[in-house]
Amino acid sequence: MDQDFIALWAPDPLWDIASRLIPAAPVRPQGGGRRRVDDRRVLAAVLYLTQAGYSWWKLPEELFGVTRATAHRRFAEWSTARLWPDLHQAIAAHLAVAAPSDWPPAVVDAIATLAAGEGLNRGGRGERAGRATRRDTGGLPVATPEHRPS
């Protein structure tokens, strides 16, 4: 497991925000059991998989120190606790931009669309050819007045 790899996928500024939003670990009524894997490692693994567009089976366990089962289980726990929308809003607030509910759905979903291969055509024919999404310095899509739907 590589600390630099963890810091790459869950950098300190992101972790500062996420650590306040991640639900507390459930208490084991009988105690014992294995030590819980660090939340930052799991967050880094989940973010790696979602950014790369890989399935759970492609998780390089040795790089993150997290098993596929643990990453998937924690992802499901966090999804149930609505971590992802809360994290999205917290990051937007941190970056001092409009709340995601004010964004057009196309901007909120831009990363997923690009990952699915349905994104911008950067040089072919068609109505979207040559258009590019404006992004901030962190790589997040930005809705500007001239790009907002009317």
Do residues 19 and 34 touch, judged by C-beta distance below 8 A?
no
Classify residue 144 as left (phi > 0), alpha (psi -120 to 50) or beta.
beta
* Count of other CB atoms within 10 angstroms of residue 76: 10
* Predicted local confidence at residue 101, as pLDDT: 55
One-letter amino acid at 73 equals R
Do residues 75 and 23 touch, judged by C-beta distance below 8 A?
no
Q: Which residues pair with 51 in a beta bridge?
A: none
One-letter amino acid at 146 equals E
* Count of other CB atoms within 10 angstroms of residue 98: 13
* Predicted local confidence at residue 89, as pLDDT: 87
Q: Which residues pair with 135 in a beta bridge?
A: 141
Give every residue of the chain whose pLDDT is below 50, as ranges: 98, 108-109, 111-131, 146-150
Do residues 144 and 134 touch, judged by C-beta distance below 8 A?
yes
* Predicted local confidence at residue 134, as pLDDT: 58
pLDDT tens across 69-87, in order? 999 999 999 999 999 999 9
